[in-house]
Amino acid sequence: MIPEDLYYSEEHEWVRLDDDVATIGITDFAQEQLGDIVYVDLPQVGDTVASGAVIGELESTKSVSDVFSPLSGEVMARNETLDGGAEVINSDPYGEGWLIKVRVTDEDVTESLLTPEAYGSLVSE
């Protein structure tokens, strides 16, 4: 399942753009690879994130994985509901399982991101 209205990173994050605010989460492929997610560590509101940098961790019953920022900007919101219910990332990765919202500072946001078609090719390899 790869929604057509999103952009993607090679590290399996998705990005939904709304003007200069980007909502970021992990893809269905990523949550499937991780298994049952039990804990999330995310940046705080007001933190600055840089494209390609580690911004948090997802802990599952299998392992701990880094979350990378697909773009640069300031964290405007974090999904507080994940603190007590990280499993929603597994059940609804493109909806209620979003991670953070970032006010984007990148000039050309989509330049470093993948289209749905390109991401589909990446995960089918």
Q: Quick one: three-class SS letters along the chain?
A: CCCCCCEECCCCEEEEEECCEEEEEECHHHHHHHCCEEEEECCCCCCEECCCCEEEEEEECCCEEEEECCCCEEEEEECHHHHCCCCHHHHCCCCCCCCEEEEECCCCHHHHCECHHHHHHHHHC
If you classify domain 7-106 with CATH, what class do you get?
Answer: mainly beta
Per-residue pLDDT tens, the chain, 125 aa: give them.
899 999 999 999 999 999 999 999 999 999 999 999 999 999 999 999 999 999 999 999 989 999 999 999 999 999 999 998 999 999 999 999 999 999 998 778 888 899 999 999 999 97
Q: Where are the domains of the chain?
A: 7-106
